[in-house]
């Protein structure tokens, strides 16, 4: 685990029966060469002794904003961390972190950091499945927090179900993966100006009805967040209201025309454009200013083509610019992607078969084929969209380096 050597890792420990497993995580991290700073909530004191944790970590346990001489311990801890892992994470901690509630030292540190955060929930099945908890988990995921989901098994009450803390092996694998990704990526897009488009456009029929598609914007947002993490200056042009981390410039749009104008104004001054948005190919020729009433009869909706943003960007692309397109297909995946690559003067097409389960629209996962030329194909099996974003940007870096 060379990725851990010399890294400063904060281990947050919440009050739950699984708190004793945090001791094993501390021990493994220290053995791998990490500098471990334990931060416990007051509730954790009921389940595990501070002496045990302090003895196996690199520093004594911190529990309060007000102990010691440092007037702002949360800021210093957050700014100096390479990684924060919360193990176990209770429903209370997850809710507080998701909604920015700084209720104790640990939540203050989480809010004050820009380091990667891994949250490892552990709770009873009914609590884990509660809609509020699941909404909070989804919100944290949308902001880039890594979640090591609980496992099925025997719980503290004697019954079985999903909710027990993930195994130490699974948690350590996630820690290594996050830190390895940070090392690998380094800041290889530092100084690069990147545009990412995301979401499905909405073309109005009348005041309440639109022509749209099922795109959630998750893949585009994942690309924007990964590009920012790798040092790029990022402009995200999105149709969604998804949360966006600090440091990314956001342009909210709705229609294909809005997106066209935004891309056209920024593209000439940028280095990379990743067109992950699902832009409508057609829009109503005429949009009614009011609502079309049902008793008025079935309206005739005539359509016209929208601007081909990707083709226009390809026609004006300089040799030093990189242009990435997406191809959501239901048949002839590679053939259609190859055609788009050539026809629109692209450097890369990310093709996915959205007819397959778990792929593309409105999923957290994607399975894609990266097409760089007629013969240069790379398939990626069903993976988290963040992993797809990482590989996509790896290829962008390779293309840029090949031209330098």
CATH of the domain at 230: 3.40.50.10300
Average pLDDT for the chain? 91
β-strand 322-329 against 348-353: which pairing, if any?
parallel
* CA–CA distance, 254 with 240 (Å, rounded to integer): 8
**Cβ of 295: how many Cβ atoms within 10 Å?**
4
The SS3 assignment for 160 reads: strand
pLDDT value of residue 3: 72
For 366-388, what is each residue's pLDDT tens digit? 899 999 987 889 999 988 888 89
Domain count, the chain: 2
In this structure, are strands 303-305 and 282-284 parallel, antiparallel, or unpaired? Answer: antiparallel
Task: Say if residue 92 is in the same domain as residue 218.
Answer: no
Note whether 175 and 246 are same-domain residues.
no
Instruction: Give the residue numbers marked as catalytic.
Output: 213
Burial class for 249, CB neighbours closer than 10 Å (0-12, 13-18, 19+): middle
Question: Is the pLDDT confidence value at 111 over 80?
Answer: yes
Q: Are residues 84 and 122 in the same domain?
A: yes
Task: Please say whether the beta carbons of 281 and 299 come within 8 A.
Answer: no
Residue whose C-alpha is closest to residue 324's, from 339, 344, 305: 344
Predicted local confidence at residue 2, as pLDDT:
62
pLDDT at 67 over 90: no
Domain match, 354 and 247 both: yes
Mark which of 129, 156, 185 sits at the end of a domain.
185
Measure the CA–CA gap between 324 and 387, rounded to whole angstroms: 17
User: Does residue 334 share a domain with residue 212?
Assistant: yes
Statement to judge: residues 67 and 167 lie in one domain: yes
Judge whether 148 and 42 are in contact, CB under 8 Å: no
Calpha distance 348→274 (Å, rounded): 9
Same domain, 371 and 322: yes
Helices marked H in 159-217: 168-185
43 with 170, same domain: the answer is yes
Indicate if 244 and 110 belong to the same structural domain. no
Residue-range definition of the domain harbouring residue 58: 2-185
Q: Which of 74, 110, 78 is closest to 93 using CA atoms?
A: 110
| Per-residue model confidence (pLDDT) at position 182 | 56
- CA within 13 Å, CB half, 341: 20
Where among 185, 218, 236 does a domain terminate? 185
CATH code assigned at 65: 3.40.50.1950
Domain-ending residue, one of 142, 167, 185: 185
More reliable by pLDDT, 3 or 74: 74
Highest mean pLDDT among 9-13, 74-78, 214-218, 357-361 belongs to 9-13
Per-residue pLDDT, averaged over 32-52, amounts to 94
DSSP symbols for 276-331 = -SB--SEEES---SSPPPGGG------EEEPP-HHHHHHHT--TT-EEEEEEEESS
Angle, helix 91-98 to helix 131-142, in steps of 10 degrees:
50
CA 373 to chain centre: 28
- 308 CB burial (10 A radius; 0-12, 13-18, 19+): middle
Half-sphere exposure (Cβ direction) of 261: Cα atoms closer than 13 Å:
7
Q: How far apart are CA 277 and CA 93, in angstroms?
A: 34
């Amino acid at each position: 685990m060379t990725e851990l050597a010399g890294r400063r890792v904060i281990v947050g420990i919440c009050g739950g029966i699984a708190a004793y497993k945090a001791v094993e995580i501390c021990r493994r991290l220290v053995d791998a060469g990490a500098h471990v700073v334990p931060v416990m909530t007051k509730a954790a004191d009921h389940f595990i002794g501070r002496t045990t944790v302090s003895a196996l970590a690199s520093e004594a346990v911190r529990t309060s904003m007000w102990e010691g001489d440092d007037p702002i311990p949360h800021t210093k801890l957050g700014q100096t961390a390479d990684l924060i892992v919360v193990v176990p994470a209770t429903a209370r901690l997850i809710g507080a972190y998701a909604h920015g509630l700084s209720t104790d030292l640990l939540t203050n540190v989480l809010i004050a950091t820009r380091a990667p955060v891994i949250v490892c929930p552990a709770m009873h099945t009914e609590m884990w499945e509660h809609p509020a908890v699941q909404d909070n988990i989804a919100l944290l995921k949308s902001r880039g927090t890594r979640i090591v989901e609980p496992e099925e098994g025997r719980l503290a009450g004697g019954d079985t179900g999903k909710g027990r803390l993930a195994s130490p092996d699974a948690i350590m694998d996630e820690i290594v993966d996050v830190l390895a990704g940070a090392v690998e990526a380094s800041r290889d897009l530092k100084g690069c100006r990147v545009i990412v488009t995301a979401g499905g456009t909405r073309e109005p029929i009348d005041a309440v009805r639109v022509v749209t598609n099922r795109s959630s914007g998750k893949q585009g947002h994942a690309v924007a967040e990964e590009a920012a993490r790798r040092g790029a200056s990022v402009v995200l042009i999105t149709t969604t209201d998804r949360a966006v981390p600090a440091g990314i410039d956001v342009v909210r749009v709705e229609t294909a025309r809005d997106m066209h104008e935004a891309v056209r104004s920024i593209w000439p001054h940028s280095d990379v454009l990743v067109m992950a948005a699902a832009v409508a190919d057609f829009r109503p020729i005429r949009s009614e200013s009011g609502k079309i009433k049902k008793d008025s009869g079935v309206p005739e909706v005539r359509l016209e083509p929208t601007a081909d943003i990707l083709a226009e960007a390809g026609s004006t692309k300089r040799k030093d610019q990189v242009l990435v397109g997406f191809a959501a297909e239901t048949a002839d995946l590679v053939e259609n992607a190859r055609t788009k690559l050539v026809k629109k003067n692209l450097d890369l097409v990310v093709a996915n078969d959205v007819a397959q389960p778990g792929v593309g629209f409105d999923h957290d996962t994607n399975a894609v084929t990266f097409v760089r030329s007629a013969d240069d194909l790379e398939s990626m099996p069903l993976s988290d969209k963040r992993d797809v974003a990482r590989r996509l940007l790896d290829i962008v870096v390779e293309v840029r380096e090949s031209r330098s």
